[in-house]
Amino acid sequence: MSKQSASAPDKATRLVEIGRITKAHGIRGEVRVVLHNAESTLIGDGKKLVIRPAPATPVLPDRTLRVLRVREAPGALIVAFADVSDRDQAEALHGSGVLLRRDEFPPLDDGEFYACDVEGAEVFGPDGEKVGVTLALVDYPTCSVLRVQKPDQSIVEYPLVEAVIGSVDVAAGRVTLLDAEGL
**25 and 58 share a domain?**
yes
In this prediction, residue 141 carries a pLDDT of: 84
**99 and 20 share a domain?**
yes
**95 and 145 share a domain?**
no
**89 and 120 share a domain?**
no
| Distances in whole angstroms, Cα of residue 148 to Cα of each of 36, 93, 128, 136, 172 | 19, 32, 16, 7, 17
**100 and 122 share a domain?**
no
Answer yes or no: is pLDDT of 110 > 90: no
In this prediction, residue 179 carries a pLDDT of: 84
Is position 3 within any domain? no
pLDDT in tens, 59-95: 778 999 999 999 999 999 999 999 999 999 999 999 9
- Which CATH number is 173's domain given? 2.30.30.240
Is position 56 within any domain? yes
**85 and 131 share a domain?**
no
**93 and 129 share a domain?**
no
Q: Report how far residue 34's alpha carbon sits from residue 86's, in angstroms, rounded to the nearest whole number.
A: 20
Sheet with 155-159, side-by-side order of all strands: 155-159, 144-149, 130-139, 122-124, 174-177, 165-169
| Count: domains in the chain | 2
**68 and 131 share a domain?**
no
**29 and 85 share a domain?**
yes
pLDDT in tens, 111-128: 788 888 999 999 999 999
DSSP assignment letter at 141: S
Range of the domain at 78: 15-104
pTM recorded for the entire structure: 0.76
